[in-house]
Amino acid sequence: MKVNKRAKRDAKQLFHLCLVNRLLAENRVRHVVQRVVTAGRRDGPAILSHFRRLLRLDRARHTAIIESVTVVPADVQAAIEAGLMRRYGPHVTTTFAYRPALIAGVRIQVGSDVYDGSVQARLTALEKSF
Amino acid sequence: MRPEGILATFGVDWSHLLAQVVSFGIVCVILYRFAYRPVLTMLEVRRQQIALGLANAEQIKAELARTEAQRQDVMVQANAQANILIEEARAAAARVREQQTQKAIAAAEQITINAREAAAREHDRMLAELKREVGRLVVQATTAVTGKILTSEDQRRLAEETARRVAA
Amino acid sequence: MSNLLMEIEAQIAGARTAAARQNVGSIRELGDGVAKIEGLTDAMLNEMIDLGDGVTGLVLNLEETEVGVIILGDYTQLKEGDEARTTGKLLQVPVGKSLLGRVVNVLGQPLDGKGPIKSDISYPVEKIAPGIMRRRSVDQPVQTGIMAIDAMIPIGRGQRELIIGDRATGKTTICIDTIISQAELNKAAEAAGDSSYRPLYCIYVAIGQKQSTVARVIAVLEEAGAMPYSIIVSSAASDSAANQYLVPFAGAAMGEWFMDNGMDALIVYDDLSKHAVAYRQVSLVLKRPSGREAYPGDVFYLHSRLLERAARVGEKYGNGSLTALPIIETQAGDVSAYVPTNVISITDGQIYLETDLFYQGVRPAISVGLSVSRVGSAAQLKAMKQVAGQLKGELAQFRELAQFGSDLDAKTQAQIDRGKRIMEIFKQTQYRPIPVEVQVAVIWAVQNGYVDRVPVPRVRAFQSTFMDFLVTRHVELLATIKREHTLSDALKAELKTVADAFTQTWT
């Protein structure tokens, strides 16, 4: 849907209202959504869609997706989590996923940052260099 | 004999003689004034004209000789100039011919160079393509094989490496 | 073969180290050659983005939640959700002498099918122009081979001279003539082994031109043997607006390499009107606010930063020069439109071409009254200055007097006659540049009355025969003028003898 500038601005303001100590507070989010729905304004859906987008982006920034082929040993897991916490702050949630296409190694993605140590990435880079 | 006798024998009569001399004298004078003088002046004039004409003729002859000499001169000069022009034209033609030859040689060389370059390019292109194909095959083989070869020890090592990079 | 294997092995060995941290994003919206990408939090302005499949993009808009990227390449293969990653590099093009004789596109990729460009140096496409202290004043001439320009509106190395006129008035032809003239001078200097002559390399940037036009230009240059000294950078009308927007900057980068390495270069931007239109399209698609005639607000900065990169730099800073000949196409002779006035105020002079003159048969259709070169005679050969110094004034007077028909005193009539003959002398066939020493001789002959007795319709025949006469039979005289750069009294006397000899045989 087309979200005009005013709706975007309003959604941004609402998003900033939901932040407590630079973190998203879930109860506030629910409250905001309810209020916007009940207010019944014409650009309500537009505001909400942009709001949802901002939420999604924020969540992506604070989620680390760790993909691997085999189960990562526990101590390595802990090391990864410690590193992530040091770099991105204590409120990063880690999820582990299984991706066989990686062949071997681990791919970590936090928001837009990607740490790709998998064999597949190296092979793709090699193929591109030819 | 006495002089009067001689004169009478010959029929010379002084009065007649005198009269005749006088009338002869008158005739002479008249002739002189009205005939001789104009005729003589006319002759004089004609003589002068002839002299002038002769002098002119002399001049004309001299003039002619001079003109002839000039004509010869001009002809010689024209000949000389014509020769120079011909020489210059020849030199220019030689230069143009030289230029054209050089151009033809350069064009022929260019064709050879182009052909050689085209062959070299083709060779390079084939090598590059070959390299690409070999690379792709290597990657394909590695992809197919690596998963089966790697042990859990290797997996662990790789995971640790990434963890290190995150922490760093 | 073993070379090949070693190369492959080396590349494989190089792939052992894994990539460091990368920054990625995904395409959220795609259209009109512009992609809006979500993520890419580390993207910087003008950074190159790798969109996969060999397609690159350039970051132009940095917004709060996304990045606006213009796509350089085939955008038909991309789709929403594709991954894009930053490269950490600014857009760069290969530069160097290996580009001479080639036809390339905006990224430096070859278009002429003669194999890849081998160059290990790359220059960034966007670069800040040389500062004030790095510059040097312009005093070396660019011999365009067009008499009207070299005599009255001389161009120097390091100058920016705008060529402005309506469509089909001969703007491109002037630039092609200049390129051919430079190639001939370069070749002559090489053949004579003259190391004091600085060759001038030419770059022709085709912005939004028809491909048939570019092909014709290439054919003309190849026929004249000018390709080995020229680079053609082309972004044709069928290319995306992003490519057309960037191609003059790529050409400028190639020219800057010559400038920074002690060589002289000449760059032709054909034409900047289409460049402004392409930039307008890119800006509008990126939703940037528009101004007068729907051009974005920074269209002046677009051209000023491009043209300021053409300069003559001092000895410590490269000792080279880059001369720019931008072309602007006006509509119906309107030089007071937005983009033409912008570019006129940026350049060091303009050559104004008029359609009226063109159809009257005056070709090149240069309007001497409205054209100006702000560098002027500082960039002219002394010999040319000696013979042509009065010409502009004489032609101005001629134009004033030409409106009077009859009943004129002898002096005015003589001025009008001389003016008509000078106009005839300045007509020139296209693609036939005239060397400067021949120009000097011809103008000297005109200024000394050798053409006054020739009827006006026969003046051109007189001129061409005279030039042939000089070139074939008095090569040493021309060589002396070229060597000494000035007309000494002895040279003038020799010119007099030659002119006398010619007029005698002329029928």
Model confidence over C156-202: pLDDT tens digits?
A: 999 999 999 999 999 999 999 999 999 999 999 999 998 899 999 99
Q: How many CB atoms lie within 10 A of CB B88?
A: 13
Q: Does B42 have pLDDT greater than 90?
A: yes
The residue ranges of every structural domain in chain A are: 5-60, 63-129
Sequence-distant (6+) residues with CB within 8 A of C452 are C414, C417, C418, C421
Please tell me the distance from the alpha carbon of residue C450 to that of residue C506, in angstroms, as a whole number. 11
Q: With bands split at pLDDT 50, 70 and 90, how would you rate the model's confidence at B151?
A: confident
Is the overall model pTM greater than 0.90, yes or no? no
Poorest-pLDDT segment among A7-21, A114-128, C435-449, C483-497 = A114-128
Q: With bands split at pLDDT 50, 70 and 90, how would you rate the model's confidence at A105?
A: confident
Q: Does B59 have pLDDT greater than 80?
A: yes
Interface list for C 108-127 with A (CB within 8 A): none
Q: What is the pLDDT of residue C83?
A: 92
- Percent of chain A at pLDDT > 90 equals 22
Q: Three-class SS of residue C56?
A: strand
Per the CB < 8 A criterion, the answer to whether C487 and C383 are in contact is yes
Please tell me the distance from the alpha carbon of residue C251 to that of residue C306, in angstroms, as a whole number. 10
Nearest to A126 among B139, B154, B158 (CB): B139
Q: Does B3 have pLDDT greater than 70?
A: no
Query: How distant is the Cα of C253 from the closest Cα of chain A, in angstroms?
Result: 26
Cβ within 8 Å, pair B166-A69: no
Name the average pLDDT for chain C: 92
Residue with tokens 């005639």, as numbered in its chain = C293
State the amino acid at position C25 in one-letter form.
G
How many alpha carbons fall within 13 Å on the CB side of residue B74? 6
Measured over the CA atoms of residue B124, residue C206, residue C160 and residue C281, the dihedral's sign is negative
* Distances C352 to A127, C170, C335 between C-alpha atoms, Å: 54, 11, 9
* Distances C102 to C110, C117, C138, C245, C257 between C-alpha atoms, Å: 7, 9, 29, 21, 16
Please tell me the distance from the alpha carbon of residue C110 to that of residue B11, in angstroms, as a whole number. 153
Sequence-distant (6+) residues with CB within 8 A of B160 are A76, A79
Cβ within 8 Å, pair A113-C19: no
Over range A85-92, report the average pLDDT.
86
CA angle in degrees (0–180, nearest 5) for C47-C48-C50: 140
- Minimum CA–CA partner of B132 in chain A: A130
Residue with tokens 């073969």, as numbered in its chain = C1
Alpha helix stretches (DSSP H) within C199-311 = 211-223, 241-260, 272-285, 299-307
Q: Does C464 have pLDDT greater than 90?
A: yes
DSSP state of B6: H
- 10 Å CB burial of residue B119 (0-12, 13-18, 19+) is exposed
- Minimum CA–CA partner of C28 in chain A: A53
Q: With bands split at pLDDT 50, 70 and 90, how would you rate the model's confidence at B47?
A: very high
The partner residues of C254 in beta bridges, in order of sequence, read none
Please tell me the distance from the alpha carbon of residue C26 to that of residue C79, in angstroms, as a whole number. 10
Start-to-end CA distance of chain C, whole Å, equals 72
Q: Name the pairing type of β-strands A106-110 and A63-68.
A: antiparallel
Please tell me the distance from the alpha carbon of residue C141 to that of residue C490, in angstroms, as a whole number. 25
* C457 contacts chain B (CB < 8 A): no
DSSP secondary structure of C68-83: EEEEES-GGG--TT-E
How many alpha carbons fall within 13 Å on the CB side of residue C505? 11
Sequence-distant (6+) residues with CB within 8 A of C112 are C102, C103
Per the CB < 8 A criterion, the answer to whether A50 and A7 are in contact is yes
* C115 contacts chain B (CB < 8 A): yes
Per the CB < 8 A criterion, the answer to whether C369 and C362 are in contact is no
Please tell me the distance from the alpha carbon of residue C348 to that of residue C336, in angstroms, as a whole number. 17
Cβ within 8 Å, pair C114-B121: yes
* B134 contacts chain C (CB < 8 A): yes
Chain C residues close to B134, C-beta within 8 Å: 4, 8
Per the CB < 8 A criterion, the answer to whether C325 and C175 are in contact is yes
Residue with tokens 């990657």, as numbered in its chain = B139
Cβ within 8 Å, pair A127-B135: yes
Query: How distant is the Cα of A28 from the closest Cα of chain B, in angstroms?
Result: 33
* C50 contacts chain A (CB < 8 A): no
Helix (H) or strand (E) holding A116: strand A113-116
Please tell me the distance from the alpha carbon of residue C92 to that of residue C420, in angstroms, as a whole number. 52
Please tell me the distance from the alpha carbon of residue A100 to that of residue C283, in angstroms, as a whole number. 43
Interval C340-377: pLDDT, tens: 999 999 999 999 999 999 999 999 999 998 999 999 88
Q: Does B1 have pLDDT greater than 60?
A: no
Torsion of CA A94, A100, A103, A109, to 10 degrees: -30
Sequence-distant (6+) residues with CB within 8 A of C76 are none
Q: Does C454 have pLDDT greater than 60?
A: yes
Chain B residues close to A106, C-beta within 8 Å: 158-159, 162-163
State the amino acid at position C204 in one-letter form.
Y
Peptide bond before C110: cis, by omega within 30 degrees of 0? no
Q: Three-class SS of residue C112?
A: coil
Tokens (6 digits) for C456: 């006006």
- Minimum CA–CA partner of B157 in chain A: A105
Interface test with A, best of B129, B154, B162 (most A CBs within 10 A): B162
- Minimum CA–CA partner of C37 in chain A: A112
Marked catalytic residue, from C216, C288, C374, C458: C374
Predicted interface score ipTM higher than 0.90: no
Give partners of A (≥3 CB pairs < 8 A).
B, C
Q: What is the pLDDT of residue C145?
A: 95
Measured over the CA atoms of residue C138, residue C143, residue C144 and residue C150, the dihedral's sign is positive
CA angle in degrees (0–180, nearest 5) for C484-C488-C492: 115
Sequence-distant (6+) residues with CB within 8 A of B4 are none
Q: With bands split at pLDDT 50, 70 and 90, how would you rate the model's confidence at C18?
A: low
Report the CATH architecture of A63-129: 3-Layer(aba) Sandwich (3.40)
Query: How distant is the Cα of B111 from the closest Cα of chain A, in angstroms?
Result: 33
Query: How distant is the Cα of C472 from the closest Cα of chain B, in angstroms?
Result: 6
* A18 contacts chain B (CB < 8 A): no
Please tell me the distance from the alpha carbon of residue B97 to that of residue C458, in angstroms, as a whole number. 30
- Minimum CA–CA partner of B144 in chain A: A103
Chain B residues close to A130, C-beta within 8 Å: 131-132, 134-136
* Distances C337 to B141, C165, C369 between C-alpha atoms, Å: 63, 12, 20
Q: With bands split at pLDDT 50, 70 and 90, how would you rate the model's confidence at C17?
A: low
Sequence-distant (6+) residues with CB within 8 A of B36 are none
Q: What is the pLDDT of residue C465?
A: 93
Task: Give the phi and the psi of residue C370 in degrees, each rounded to 5.
Answer: -90, -15
User: Is C160 among the residues known to form the active site?
Assistant: no
